[in-house]
Chains A and B, each alone.
Chain A
């Protein structure tokens, strides 16, 4: 699906052509895509919640558990680390809007210097996204060390699938950001390019919004 959405880029020939609403083709398609993603993540989250508490063996998210060998393990979710990564992702959304503003207002007063530079904010957003992915990689590996893999139990299967899908979305977003950054460095993004950043920003914020839900439903609620 990500392919489908990405395929929209450069696809439309709205530049020279009449459109009914005056809106950008790709922006409409992106919103439709986001609507579709609501159902995808809705299904993934539903599954996670339905299976919550139904695993036959540990580890569990919020409960301590005893392995067959008698070892006692603590609940597996690491709230402090995830809070930090949540914070990073939230801030990336701020960087993203600032990048958009910088492109839209390129050359206008108040948009000079580093804080008015779209390159800086694009890079910052991508870096925040990558940091989030780093946190996720850390989380996944430590879970595996504690004995939770995607095969262990229903919790493992639904947790890794849900957060893995989200992580994949972030990764696609980071690639997209870096592509835009690359273009910006090569030829400099102008206000007329803002629509491209706008569309990318929609995607990015949506991925952030999904995390807001996952963080609350998966990590915080016991």
Chain B
């Protein structure tokens, strides 16, 4: 990671020496560099999660194979799910939150730069905490939703689920801290004139996502605390013999879990909503409706959790309520799909790789959405739940939706981040391999599922009518792996040798394209004053924004921010020359994160039976954390 230097060709001013080297990455509080850290780390985990998937699929290529043992397989799918959800898609979204939100709203940084660094380090360390045990055969093995009592001390007594409970708790801290940060940033750091209804759609969707995080994560935090106390301190929350109710865990988990899936998809929706208008040369169709439907999805997302529990016997009334509520979500989501198509309709379309992926998302997510609606009907879902049909559903929305959207975002923003283009030719290969591989992998799962194949089985018998479909899925997975490697090659080689990109390589409408690529540390030398949703088109292609309301911020606000009309910034000067105060780099957020990690590790030691050592570790970790925190809070920001 340290080798990632910002390419120097793009500007006259080379990054100052303090901006390179490991130490600078450990201490950075620049939202862009933190975004890059998120990006690299999450891509690394994508590879890890992909390798886990590859092993899973290899084991299932044929009936009664024995590539991995049952126990290993169970760890693999648990870690695959956990990795992809918490260590890949959420952090990839976070990479974009970090990099883009301040740029899109015309801010110089996030509201709390050091808290931002803290979020990243908690994620990075928490990711290691939950992943490394797999090398010792101790990885979590209770499934990504860790149903009690299998995840509790009585039936899951080993260390495996300890790492899961604690790891998720750590990752939750990271997500929550980031969410408070971005909520404040979006509310309070928008450039003059940028009303809520002028924010770029990606920022809008991110805004909704932050609220989902703020509301959903406390619930799993509570559920995990109960499990953690059961496992380490002998409480009885999920202890069957004491009358504990396994359904409590399920309800709490899914109150979190369902909003979580929208946490995964909405940022991708946002990215696609940036890509499509740009390459259609047309504003986003139905902007207001798009924003409101995002809010609707988020809101309704809190009222449908029990559709994951149609088989537990909740009774007809609850089944009906949750079923109908679930179906309702199809409506705002459909609105988004149709508005995207309408955005392209009548446009002047260009198909760089980012656009291909964006269109791919529309096509593929629809499939996953429709199978989702099929799940929402309990009598029918009882034949689908816990089969490969569900696996098909959620990979279409997650891989065909979230991952495709994120790839669209990576191709779109790569020039902004690095100052260079990614290769379109290789990108095209990547897209098509990915597109075919994805359908080859996941489409047959609809069949294996409806033909009776349960999920989470490490092996299956011959003659069940599943062989062909499984072989197809496995073949597709190898294709996806090749696609992934093609992408990796494209990514790294373009970073070194890609064609230089200017401020605004795509002719895009929003503020981030008005500044140099890569942006200077202070982002905007002068804060722009925004008069409409598409400031860059106002500047360069005013015909595209004619029908949209324009207005100017009041003079006082402009004066406050020293704002100037939107313009392209091409000069690159240092913050000092411009007199822009920048936050100091600091190691303290990293140290606080480390303290948290040590604190939690103490519990593992406790489980191992070394009481004194455990206490020492926990107290030491806590003291280290609190000390670093005080040091952080009492040192000036800039």
Contacts and interface: CB of A to CB of B under 8 A. Distances in A.
A39 B546 CA distance: 44
Contacts of B583: 13
Contact of A154 (B114, B214, B243): B243
B225 A153 contact: no
Contacts of A3: 173, 177, 592, 596, 625, 629
Contacts of B189: 19-20
B438 interface: no
B248 interface: yes
A29 B222 contact: no
Contacts of B183: 28-29, 32
B236 A1 contact: no
B243 A55 contact: yes
Interface stretch (B227-235, B397-405, B507-515, B537-545): B227-235
Given A4-B173, A154-B236, A39 B112 contact: no
B176 A20 contact: no
A9 B633 contact: yes
Contacts of A17: 108
Contact of B221 (A9, A12, A40, A158): A40
B236 A10 contact: no
B188 A8 contact: no
A157 interface: yes
Interface residues of A, number: 50
B226 to A, nearest CB: 7
Contact of B218 (A1, A5, A16, A28): A1
A7 interface: yes
A220 B557 CA distance: 52
A7 B184 contact: no
A26 to B, nearest CB: 8
A188 B423 CA distance: 61
Interface residues of B, number: 64
- Mostly, the B contact residues are helix
A20 B114 contact: no
A20 B188 contact: yes
B115 A43 contact: no
Contacts of B192: 18, 20
A184 interface: no
Contacts of A57: 242
| Most A CB within 10 A of own CB, among B111, B234, B237, B629 | B111
Interface string A30-64: 00110111011011100100110011110000000
- Mostly, the A contact residues are helix
Contacts of A56: 241-243
A47 B222 contact: yes
A14 B193 CA distance: 19
A6 to B, nearest CB: 7
Nearest to A55: B243
A61 to B, nearest CB: 15
A209 B113 CA distance: 31
A33 B115 CA distance: 14
Contacts of B188: 14, 19-21, 23, 25, 28
Contacts of A1: 173, 176, 218, 221
A39 B242 contact: no
A199 interface: no
B560 interface: yes
Contact of B214 (A28, A32, A158): A32
Interface in B88-137: 108, 111-115, 118
A50 B243 CA distance: 12
Contact of A35 (B113, B184, B194, B214): B214
B242 A50 contact: no
B222 A44 contact: yes
A157 B112 CA distance: 37
B184 to A, nearest CB: 5
A52 to B, nearest CB: 12
Contact of B633 (A7, A14, A161): A7
A10 B557 CA distance: 25
Nearest to B252: A43
A10 B113 CA distance: 11
Given A6-B629, A21-B188, A39-B219, A29 B111 contact: yes
B379 interface: no
A188 to B, nearest CB: 18
Interface in B165-200: 173, 176-177, 179-181, 183-184, 187-190, 192, 194
Interface in A78-121: none
Which 8 pairs show the lowest CB-CB distances between chains A and B? Answer: A43-B222, A40-B218, A18-B561, A157-B235, A4-B177, A39-B218, A11-B112, A151-B234
Given A3-B177, A39-B219, 19 more contacts: A7-B115, A18-B192, A20-B189, A25-B112, A32-B183, A36-B176, A39-B214, A43-B218, A43-B252, A47-B237, A47-B252, A51-B248, A154-B237, A154-B242, A158-B237, A161-B225, A161-B226, A161-B229, A161-B237
16 contacts: A7-B114, A10-B633, A11-B112, A11-B113, A18-B561, A20-B189, A25-B112, A36-B218, A39-B215, A43-B252, A47-B252, A50-B245, A54-B243, A151-B234, A156-B236, A161-B237
Interface of A: 1, 3-14, 16-21, 23, 25-26, 28-29, 32-33, 35-37, 39-40, 42-44, 47, 50-51, 54-57, 150-154, 156-158, 161
